[in-house]
């Protein structure tokens, strides 16, 4: 349970293979959370579709382990709770005009990826769903040699900001924002999150390529719908809902 102050407790490790993997192990042992699991060094971090997620010294890698009574499709909306919380963290340090959200779960600063979100889940014996909401934020530095542009908060500090947050500071801000947006979602449903996400989204109204496993679709990204899917208008005029995949806008492969 959360503490009496409403804050979600955090468990820090000097080194872990993966905070999501640790959350899964704890879920398999019956731990329900909510609990943030964070690592100062991660040796086998993963992003979407099994890609490696590098997190250098001074960056944030953390996973929220929690349990909910709902279907997997609805629980997937937690990625947008996390995205809005990550955005609030970013605009504390970087100029707001540079900070945008990209469907489904990336934070961009000046067009380059600065944070990503990975949600994994499983069913408990009683039917509840455990969820691991993994968040990686490039606070101090961005990894090199990636297939997409990456950046960090440190590279885009706003006026009057002398340094990026430490991982501990960043997790405190992230956790408070997550708790607040989670409360909005539980009280008012997904629509307020969808509206706020749309305000800060990149690429809506623009052409894009959606890569869905072994096929790709091209069209115009119209909106995120009431369930969190991206709606594309294909060149044929057909509307296509994208519920999972990688979306690329223009020349930016982030």
Share above pLDDT 90 across residues of the chain, in percent, rounded to a whole number: 76
**Distance between first and last Cα of the chain:** 36
How confident is the model at residue 126, as a pLDDT?
A: 83
Do 184 and 211 lie in a common domain? Answer: no
CATH code at position 216 = 2.30.30.100
DSSP 58-105: T-EEEEEEEEESS-HHHHTTHHHHHHHHHHHHHHTTS-GGGEEEETTT
Do 116 and 193 lie in a common domain? Answer: yes
pLDDT band, residue 251 (cuts 50/70/90): low
Radius of gyration, alpha carbons of the chain: 18
Do 36 and 159 lie in a common domain? Answer: yes
**Structure-block tokens of residue 229:** 């899917």
Task: Compute, in degrees rounded to 10, the torsion defined by CA atoms 159, 162, 168, 169.
Answer: -40
Do 114 and 20 lie in a common domain? Answer: yes
Do 27 and 123 lie in a common domain? Answer: yes
Gap between the Cα atoms of 60 and 138, Å rounded: 7
- Is residue 254, in this structure, part of any structural domain at all? no
Do 128 and 216 lie in a common domain? Answer: no
**What is residue 42's three-state secondary structure?**
strand
Do 43 and 144 lie in a common domain? Answer: yes
pLDDT tens, position by position, 73-127: 899 999 999 999 999 999 999 999 999 999 988 999 999 999 999 999 999 888 8
Do 115 and 233 lie in a common domain? Answer: no
Q: Do the strands 99-102 and 106-109 form a parallel or antiparallel pair, or are they unpaired?
A: antiparallel
**Which residues constitute the domain of residue 64?**
10-199
Domain boundary among 158, 174, 199: 199
CA 15 to chain centre: 21
How confident is the model at residue 2, as a pLDDT?
A: 46
pLDDT tens, position by position, 26-54: 999 999 999 999 999 988 765 444 454 55
Q: Please indicate whether residue 196 or residue 75 has the higher confidence score (pLDDT).
A: 196
CATH code at position 96 = 3.30.930.10
Q: What's the rounded mean pLDDT across residues 17-24?
A: 96
Q: Please indicate whether residue 78 or residue 245 has the higher confidence score (pLDDT).
A: 78
Kindly give, in sequence order, each residue whose CB lies less than 8 Å from that of residue 225, ignoring residues fewer than 6 positions away: 194, 231, 241
- Is residue 104, in this structure, part of any structural domain at all? yes
Gap between the Cα atoms of 204 and 9, Å rounded: 36
Instruction: Let me know the angle formed at the C-alpha of 87 by 160 and 50, rounded to the nearest 5 degrees.
Output: 125
Gap between the Cα atoms of 222 and 55, Å rounded: 33
Average pLDDT of the chain to the nearest whole number: 90
How confident is the model at residue 1, as a pLDDT?
A: 39
Report the DSSP beta bridge partners of residue 216.
211
C-alpha to C-alpha distances, 87 to 47, 59, 105, 254, nearest whole angstrom: 18, 16, 11, 17
Q: What share of the chain is helix, strand, coil (3-state, %, to 5)?
A: 25, 35, 40
Split into its structural domains, the chain has a count of 2
- Is residue 2, in this structure, part of any structural domain at all? no
Gap between the Cα atoms of 68 and 90, Å rounded: 27
């Amino acid at each position: 349970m959360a503490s009496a102050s409403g804050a979600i407790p955090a468990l820090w490790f000097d080194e872990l293979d993966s905070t999501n993997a640790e959350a899964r192990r704890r879920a398999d042992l019956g731990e329900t959370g909510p609990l943030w699991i964070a690592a100062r060094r991660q040796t086998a971090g993963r992003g979407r579709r099994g890609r490696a997620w590098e997190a250098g010294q001074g960056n944030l890698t953390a996973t929220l382990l929690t349990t909910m009574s709902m279907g997997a499709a609805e629980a997937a909306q937690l990625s947008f709770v996390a995205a809005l919380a990550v955005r609030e963290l970013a605009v504390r340090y970087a100029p707001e005009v540079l900070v945008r959200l990209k469907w489904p779960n990336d934070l961009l600063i000046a067009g380059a990826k600065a944070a990503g979100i990975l949600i994994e889940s499983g069913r408990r014996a009683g039917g509840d769903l455990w969820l691991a909401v993994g968040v990686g934020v490039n606070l101090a530095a961005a990894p090199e040699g990636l297939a997409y542009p990456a950046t960090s908060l440190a590279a885009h500090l706003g006026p009057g900001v002398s340094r990026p947050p430490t991982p501990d500071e960043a997790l405190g801000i992230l956790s408070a924002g997550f708790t607040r947006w989670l409360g909005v979602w539980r009280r008012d449903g997904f629509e307020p999150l969808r509206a706020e996400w749309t305000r800060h989204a990149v690429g809506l109204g623009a052409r894009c390529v959606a890569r869905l496993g072994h096929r790709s679709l091209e069209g115009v990204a119209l909106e995120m719908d009431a369930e969190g899917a991206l709606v594309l208008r294909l060149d044929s005029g057909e509307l296509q809902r994208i519920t999972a995949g990688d979306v690329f806008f223009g020349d930016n492969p982030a």
